[in-house]
A and B are shown apart, each in its own frame.
Chain A
Amino acid sequence: MNTGTHTGMPHGDDAHAAPSLDRAQVTLKREGAGGLPLIAGALGVVLLAVAFIVGKGDPAQLFHSYLFNWVYFAMLSLGGLFFVLLQHLTRAGWSVVVRRLAEAVGATLPVTAILFVPIAFGVRAIYPWASEAAAHDPVIAHKSGWLAPGPFVVRAAIYLVLWSLLGWWFWRQSERQDRMGALQITRRMQSVSAPSMLVFAITLTLASFDWVMSLSPRWYSTVFGGYLFGGLAMSSFALLIVLALLLQRRGALGGVVTMEHFHDLGKLMFAFVVFWIYIAFAQFMLQWYANMPEETNWFAARLNPGWLPLTRALVVGHFVIPFFFLLMRDVKRVRWGLWASALWLLLMEWLDIYWLIMPSLYHDGPRLRLLDVLTFLALGLLFAGALAWTLRRRALVPVNDPRLVESLAFENV
């Protein structure tokens, strides 16, 4: 296996230098935010309790708000796992300096899995196929083998346990390499990444069918998993940019994650802005063209006068603006450009998930309710707390990765 650390630069004296990272560059300073994971976690739990008390009288609202915010944060943590799998699968050298951040994001998946529990109890409040009326609808009754509360929860448990195991495993292996420096660990992670990517693709597709698409049980779109994946991949790069920028503001990763790495993360983020609209439009155009009622109902619910403004805003905000903005090279190489585009796209991903889920509750147009805000804050704080915990456990960079030198010296040509 070629894990050579030379970059092939014929003149590159710097390429052969040993990595000299001091501890301050690669660890989070503990003073200042001593109990951040604990504080964020406790506050999240409190807010969650408040949300459930406030929403007791209106389970439909409560569980829809919870579902869409949970899916949003689940996509973010799953994005971390996706990034790690992709880097190992392609034996990427450039990305080693940001891979630990993605590993830490993926290692929060067990928390995501635990937070699914309320949804398991809210199935009847969320999904039309679980209602009494569904039994009399021949189209839905035909799908009752798949769309039933028991199998739904079992499947969700399978997806979430698999993701949690993978997220945790990659984080732990990489951390073991920090201590032992064994090349073998890199080899093992590489060989596990290929079947894992397959598992990721299949489970994500099925999960998107179960959790989101089945909100309209008569409707189907075979590319729906790809649609959700487009947003997931885009926001995984956006989240890494935000994390690296945040850590650099706190004095870590200086000189480790350089503009060259940010530039590449920005390029990938841009690529998935395009991928998202490609899938979104492919999904729309075929059903618009055929114009068959059982297919167009889903779009009709989002193109009625109430929802049309948000649908348009999503096309402009999730594609047109970031496309022309990120098309420029320079904005991917300055901090304000990275901050602006990454935070904007994380917001757009949230809006996208809202747009996918909430029309099944509010038929005449978007609304923002207290419960939407409460569940967002609660789940956001729990995600942030879990992430802060995983980030502070170990070095911020896989310090013994065989490709670290290559990554530190990485330059865009």
Chain B
Amino acid sequence: MSAAAATTGTVWGALAEFDSPAALYKAAERVRDAGFEQWDTHSPFPVHGLEKAMGLKRSMVPLAVLVFGLAGAAAGMGLQWWVATRAYPLVISGKPFFSWPAFVPIMFECGVLGGATGAVLGFLGFSKLPRHHHPLFESKRFERVTDDRFFISIEAADPHFDRSATVQLLERAGALAVELVEEPA
């Protein structure tokens, strides 16, 4: 194949094209078993079980949700405590200044807000988003990823990456075509 054509710029990584989810799945298992860490699969739709074939670790997003959620709840209760007992104490219907049951709904809502914020920020952060461009967009072939083609990309930054060996691995894994993608100038 014409994959390992000579390149002039810095190589970002290798991109392999597949024609079916099954081929993608099987190839992902081989890439996983070869020990790669900095690689990804691309598909027009979610492929169930692919995370197992990729050997993905569990997402860190839930942890972010927990931390942000608890922080939100604590901040919500803290704010009300501070307002009701320190900043502007008022006697309301004869109850103590710090009438915590009345503060629970707002604490709960702040907890939900914090958790949701944690989910969004955690997702963006762990996915390294937002970014305006990606080297893969340099590839003409990659445009079909939103249509009917499936891809595996392996980054050159991965310690296991070796220009010819990695391309060969992808070809042997059943790729229709493999190309080297360069960093945009």
A interface residues with partner B (beta carbon < 8 Å): 8-12, 281, 284-285, 288-289, 291, 327, 329, 411, 413
Q: Which residues of A contact B58 (CB under 8 A)?
A: 329
A15 nearest CB neighbor, chain B only: B48
Cβ contact within 8 Å between B101 and A10: no
Q: How far is the CB of B1 from chain A (nearest CB, A)?
A: 25
B46-79, CB < 8 A from A: 47-49, 58, 62, 66
The 8 closest A-B pairs by CB, nearest first: A10-B21, A11-B22, A9-B48, A11-B25, A285-B101, A11-B21, A288-B101, A10-B47
Interfacial residues of chain B within 1-51, with CB under 8 A of chain A in the complex: 21-22, 25, 47-49
Given contacts A10-B21, A11-B25, contact A413 B104 (CB under 8 A): no
Partner of B48 from the list A281, A284, A329, A413 (CB cut-off 8 Å) is A413
Distance between Cα atoms of A327 and B104 in the complex (Å): 20
A284 to B102, CA, bound (A): 11
B127 within 8 A of A: no
Interface of B is mostly: helix
A residues near B22, Cβ cutoff 8 Å: 10-11
B48 and A291 contacting across the interface, CB-CB below 8 Å:
no
* A9-B49 in contact (CB<8A): yes
- Which of A8, A9, A11, A291 gathers the greatest number of chain B CB atoms within 10 Å? A11
Are B101 and A12 interface neighbours, CB within 8 A?
no
Instruction: State the CA gap A8–B45 with chains docked (Å).
Output: 12
The docked-state distance in angstroms from the alpha carbon of A291 to that of B102 is 12
The CA-CA distance from A327 to B65 in the complex, in Å, is 12
- In angstroms, how far is the closest chain B Cβ from the Cβ of A287? 10
List chain B positions with a Cβ less than 8 A from chain A: 21-22, 25, 47-49, 58, 62, 66, 93-94, 101-102, 104-105
Interchain CA distance A411-B52 in the complex, whole Å? 12
Contact A291 B101 (CB under 8 A): no
Inter-chain contacts of A281 with B (CB < 8 A): 101, 104
Inter-chain CA distance A291–B94, complex, in Å, is 10
Interface pair B104/A411, CB less than 8 Å apart: no
Instruction: Please give me the residue from chain B that is nearest to A10 by CB atom.
Output: B21
CB pair A289–B48 under 8 Å, yes or no, is: no
In the bound complex, residues from chain B placing their C-beta under 8 Å from that of A8 are 48
Contacts A281-B101, A285-B102 given; 20 further ones with Cβ under 8 A? A9-B48, A9-B49, A10-B21, A10-B47, A10-B48, A11-B21, A11-B22, A11-B25, A11-B49, A12-B48, A284-B101, A285-B104, A285-B105, A289-B93, A289-B101, A289-B102, A291-B94, A411-B48, A411-B49, A413-B48
Q: In the assembly, what is the distance between CA of A289 and CA of B58, in Å?
A: 44
CB distance from B173 to the nearest CB of A (A): 15
Q: Cα distance A265–B92 when bound, in Å?
A: 44
CB distance from B97 to the nearest CB of A (A): 15
Chain A residues contacting B102 (CB-CB under 8 Å) are 285, 289
In the docked arrangement, what's the CA distance between A281 and B108, Å? 12
Cα–Cα, bound, A327→B102 (Å): 26
B119 to chain A: closest CB distance in Å?
15
Query: What residues of chain A lie closer than 8 Å to B105, measured between beta carbons?
Result: 285
Min distance, Cβ B57 to any Cβ of chain A, angstroms = 13
Closest to B20 in A: A10
- Report chain B residues within 8 Å CB of A10: 21-22, 47-48
> Contacts A9-B48, A10-B47, A411-B49: A291 and B93 contacting too (C-beta < 8 A)?
yes
Contact residues in A for B49 (Cβ distance below 8 Å): 9, 11-12, 411
A-B contact pairs, 13 of them (CB 8 A): A8-B48, A9-B49, A10-B22, A11-B22, A281-B104, A285-B104, A285-B105, A289-B101, A289-B102, A329-B58, A329-B62, A411-B48, A411-B49
Q: How far is the CA of A176 from the CA of B98 in the complex (A)?
A: 61
In Å, the complex CA distance between A168 and B33 comes to 53
- Nearest B residue to A284, CB-CB: B101
Closest chain-A Cβ to B111's Cβ sits at a distance in Å of: 12
Question: What residues on A are CB-neighbors of B66 within 8 Å?
Answer: 327
Contacts of A411 in B (CB 8 A): 48-49
Instruction: Tell me which residues across on chain A come within 8 A of B94, comparing CB atoms.
Output: 291
Question: Which residues on A sit within 8 Å (CB–CB) of B25?
Answer: 11
Question: B21 — nearest CB in chain A belongs to which residue?
Answer: A10
Measured CA separation A322–B93 after assembly (Å): 35
Which chain B positions have C-beta within 8 A of A327?
66
Task: Tell me the minimal C-beta distance from B64 to chain A in angstroms.
Answer: 14
The answer for the CA separation of A289 and B21 in the assembled complex, in Å, is 58
Query: Chain B CB within 10 Å — which of A10, A12, A289 has the most?
Result: A10
Distance in Å: Cβ of B78 to nearest Cβ of chain A: 19
In the bound complex, how far is the Cα of B48 from the Cα of A30, in angstroms?
Answer: 40
Contact B101 A11 (CB under 8 A): no
Expressed in whole angstroms, the Cα–Cα distance for A12 and B49 within the complex equals: 9
